Amino acid sequence: MGSEIERKFLCEPPAEVLAGAGTAIWQGYLTIGADAETRLRRGGERYWLTTKRGEGLVRGEWEVALSAEQFEAMWPATEGLRLNKVRYDVPLDAGECIVDVYEGRLAGLRVAEVEFDSVPAAEAFTAPDWFGAEVTGIAQYANRRLATVTAAEVAALAERG
């Protein structure tokens, strides 16, 4: 079993964070359950299938690389369960950080995710000043939920941020 240890924050990144080249991400869900999901993702010329189980700081995660043909064959099954974003890699001393800038109906939402090697490292992390509220484990900010939100729910998320 693979796992990820990750903290998630709303953010307003400084201009220099978004100045570099980001990677367009297309993400669609094949299944969404109470505590598990299976999704397809395309980032640049990379395609993969990911299953995640659990919520919060530590979750199970399994990834399998796909060919473009495999991705295209399954993509129609994600209709109505998709989101698009641009992903930026951000160097931080504490761990691997990415900033996702959402597009489409989620435009304006920006989320920083930091992955850690251990729970103690995650717990000791001090967020940079441009990180906002922590949303680790808050269901409304899980990508599987964001792929299904209505326009009214998007407006409510924006008000909280």
pLDDT of residue 123: 94
Task: Characterize the bridge pairing of strands 82-91 and 58-66.
Answer: unpaired
State pLDDT tens for residues 49-74.
Answer: 999 998 889 999 999 999 999 999 99
Give me the phi and psi of 115, to 5 degrees please.
-100, 145
Concerning whether 29 is annotated as a catalytic residue, the answer is yes
Distance CA 147, CA 29 (A): 8
pLDDT in tens, 1-47: 588 999 999 999 999 888 888 999 999 999 998 889 999 999 999 99
Point out which residues pair with 86 in neighbouring strands.
Answer: 24, 101
- Assign residue 44 a region (left: φ > 0; alpha: ψ between -120 and 50; beta: otherwise): left
Among residues 29, 47, 88, 102, which one is catalytic?
29
